Amino acid sequence: MKAYIFPGQGAQFTGMGLDLYEGSPIAQELFEKANSILGFSITDVMFEGTAEELKQTKVTQPAIFLHSVILAKVLGDDFKPEMVAGHSLGELSALVANGALSFEDGLKLVSKRAQAMQKACEAQESTMAAVLGLEDNVVEEVCASIDGIVVAANYNCPGQLVISGEVAAINKACEILKEKGARRALVLPVGGAFHSPLMEPAREELAKAIEETTFNEPTCPVYQNVVAKAVTSPEEIKTNLIAQLTGPVRWTQCIQAMIADGGTEFVEVGPGKVLQGLMRKIDRNVTASGAAIATE
């Protein structure tokens, strides 16, 4: 079975999407529509902006979403997903790709999500850290033992887990994790504690927007971050999407569930190759590639 996977924040680069814009009238139309929905020229930032400008959450999230979703549209008849999943923000790209959300509604939710997360980040100093070379349960136990908010946030692949929380709690956790044998416990250059209880104000704000948005029956199952299993019910999709801002991204478990359900060929749709790299660490027996558009 063919599975399509969609990246999250961190995959952005200057010039992203320009080849799509220049090579496809469909892409051009969708990018222009996005500029008008967002109320600013995101194409200017994507095509010509500096790395610094692209790093702003309110730009990064819609930029990655647009690159992924428009690339899927440009693939045309070649794009026939039998299962989809997205890493964090990428879940919204996946939901547009499988028809659960319209392009316009997906973009509006991404923009709302980005702004709500930005606000939550500014309200309280917080951060994330990557932990390499330890079993998940060891990291979870250390997080649970610390006074303050620190939780396992992104289960990226075996031996790579990102933790999220208050700055002091993260620093303390990193110290203990190194003592426990972590190869690395490295604080990341992010502006906030994504996928932790500190995102509760953002979750509440996004929940309202999600409840007011129409979700359709998807054309194929989506393997959602918080439950790591196939979901097809629009109501369940909404519930899981709301829970995602404060809940963990169980990426390893999502991919394992997709493979168990028959996924053999995985195609990453969007900027970068981050998910292809993680795929190789999760299971080397399945193929992972990037989506390519046919050029004349």
Query: In DSSP terms, which residues pair with 79 in a beta bridge?
Result: none
Q: Radius of gyration of the chain from Cα atoms?
A: 18
Report pTM.
0.95
* CB contact at 8 A, 177 and 134: yes
Of 24, 68, 87, 88, which is the active-site residue? 88
87-143: per-residue pLDDT in tens? 999 999 999 999 999 999 999 999 999 999 999 988 989 999 999 999 999 999 999
Instruction: Identify the residue whose tokens are 């303390």.
Output: 172
Distance CA 88, CA 250 (A): 9
Confidence of residue 294 (pLDDT cuts 50, 70, 90): low
Q: What is the DSSP string of 1-56?
A: -EEEEE--TT---TTTTHHHHHH-HHHHHHHHHHHHHHTS-HHHHHHH--HHHHTS
195: annotated active-site residue: yes
Among 16, 130, 119, 114, CA closest to 61? 114
9-46: per-residue pLDDT in tens? 888 899 999 999 999 999 999 999 999 999 999 999 99
Residues 6+ apart with CB under 8 A from 230: 83, 221, 222, 223, 257, 261
* CB contact at 8 A, 252 and 229: no
Distance CA 169, CA 173 (A): 6
Of 67, 126, 195, 196, which is the active-site residue? 195
Cβ neighbourhood burial of 28 (10 Å; 0-12, 13-18, 19+) = middle
Distance of CA 89 to the CA centre of its chain: 3
Domains of the chain with CATH codes: 2-122+197-290 (3.40.366.10), 123-187 (3.30.70.250)
